[in-house]
Amino acid sequence: MNVLGIETSCDETSAAVVNEQGRVFSNVVYTQIARHQPYGGVVPEIASRCHVEALPDILRRAVDEAGLGWEGIDAVAATRGPGLVSSLLIGLTAARSLALRLDRPLLGVNHLEAHLYSIFLTPGAPQPADICPLVILLVSGGHTCLVRMEASGDYTLLGQTLDDAAGEALDKGAKLLGLGYPGGPVIEKSAIGGSPSAIAFPRGMKLNQPNTPIDGFDRKLCFSFSGLKTALLYYLKAHPETTTSPEQMRDVTASYQEAVFDSLLGPAEAALKKVHPRAFGCAGGVARNARLRDKLNRLAKRFHIPLLLAAPEYCTDNAAMVAALAAARAARDGFTDASLEAQPNLSLPLA
Ligand code: KG4
Ligand code: ZN
């Protein structure tokens, strides 16, 4: 089954054709970053206008590059949430029109679940049935959580961030440092050659309190970045020369990035100890980072389990993961999902 997927939840306009085995025939992504950069973050009105302008051509290219023709498309899928409502509506409306025109079924996809599926897209990656139970660390611009995946479509939320998401911590840090948007890639570039241990920024929550649950979650499996962000703010007040000294900037960005990643790895390690999964996965935009990928690799090795990482192009928002999830779900359950309302605050479908 070949699914044409559409992703327009935030600032990437993307269309892809993928089958139920996760074979990617095409994945075309137009990133709007340059359009939002002057404003230091995503502007919803600009995002939706860009989706309207870009989507027709992106769709045509995705179908052309797949080489299957429009008649080779068996179903159409689009992200229905979470995301910016005005942007979600563009993708959903396009998907609805195409499904009608092609006389094909239509599927609405949860963006967070699609990120989880990105780890199965790399050629040679195992399928969920072969490797579950899995612990997956989801690290995007809007979400940071630890998920236990029991089987395709069967998830338990083990812990989540109590304040910012990891990507948000990088984006806000870059803003404080005057490095621009989006923060993750600019900090990664600036950190090259810097010392990750030059400044001792705080890591996550202090665990000196009794281990009482927070919002029903084991405290050890939750994340926090607010102390880290404040520490950077105070550091910059005490060291205003940072922004004009390339050498110091390298050390500060390397140390800040390291603190974000260590804050992720602590709870991830606690989850691996608690769950004893067959494998460990990491998905979402922040998982593009080479330093984080290296640290995740070392963690998985210590637990003697395989690490499933999405290829870099499938970490940040893309339609391949949307189509892959839709194809897998349709192969499993058929076309039962009729919910195509845009849901800006959708959360993971939990068992
Ligand atoms: O998954 P994603 O594309 O969108 C959301 O669903 O949020 O993630 C975007 C986030 C941004 O915060 C961005 O700064 C971060 O991913 N990011 C990175 C890198 N590339 C993107 N963070 C660290 N290193 C990168 N290379
Ligand atoms: Zn995303």
CATH superfamily of domain region 2-117+316-333: ATPase, nucleotide binding domain (3.30.420.40)
CA-nearest residue, atom 23 of ligand 1: 184
Tokens 């080779």 appear where?
A: 72
Ligand 1 near 170 CB (within 6 A) = yes
**2-117+316-333 and 126-309 share one fold:** yes
CATH number of 126-309: 3.30.420.40
* 30, 79, 140, 161: residue to mutate for ligand 1 pocket, most atoms within 8 A of CB: 140
* 286, 321, 348: residue to mutate for ligand 1 pocket, most atoms within 8 A of CB: 286
**What's the N-to-C CA distance of the chain in angstroms?**
26
CA-nearest residue, atom 8 of ligand 1: 285
Q: Quick one: which atom of ligand 1 is closest to the CA of 167?
A: 12
Rounded Cα distance, 15 and 66, in Å: 11
- Taking the domains of the chain in order of start, what are their residue ranges? 2-117+316-333, 126-309
Rounded Cα distance, 6 and 263, in Å: 33
Q: Quick one: which atom of ligand 1 is closest to the CA of 83?
A: 6
Ligand 1 near 251 CB (within 6 A) = no
User: Which listed ligand is nearest to 322 at the C-alpha?
Assistant: 2
Residue 110's SS3 state is strand
Ligand 1 near 105 CB (within 6 A) = no
* 288, 291, 292: residue to mutate for ligand 1 pocket, most atoms within 8 A of CB: 288
The pLDDT profile of the chain, 351 residues, written as one tens digit per residue, is 999 999 999 999 999 999 998 999 999 999 999 999 898 889 999 999 999 999 999 999 999 999 999 999 999 999 999 999 999 999 999 999 999 999 999 999 999 999 999 999 988 889 999 999 999 999 999 999 999 999 988 999 999 999 999 999 999 999 999 999 999 999 999 999 999 999 999 998 766 666 778 888 899 999 999 999 999 999 999 999 999 999 999 999 999 999 999 999 999 999 999 999 999 999 999 999 999 999 999 999 999 999 999 999 999 999 999 999 999 999 988 886 656 889 999 998 775
Helix runs in the chain, H state only: 33-36, 44-66, 85-102, 111-117, 128-131, 166-176, 183-190, 226-238, 246-275, 290-302, 319-333
Ligand 1 near 11 CB (within 6 A) = no
Ligand 1 near 173 CB (within 6 A) = no
Q: Is the CB of residue 194 less than 8 Å from the CB of residue 255? A: yes
Q: Quick one: which atom of ligand 1 is closest to the CA of 315?
A: 1
Q: Is the CB of residue 346 less than 8 Å from the CB of residue 80? A: yes
Q: Tell me how far the alpha carbon of residue 140 lies from the centroid of ligand 1, in angstroms.
A: 5
With a CB cutoff of 8 Å and minimum separation 6, the contacts of 169 are 225, 228, 229, 260
Ligand 1 near 174 CB (within 6 A) = no
Ligand 1 near 185 CB (within 6 A) = yes
Ligand 1 near 82 CB (within 6 A) = no
Cβ atoms < 10 Å from Cβ of 197: 10
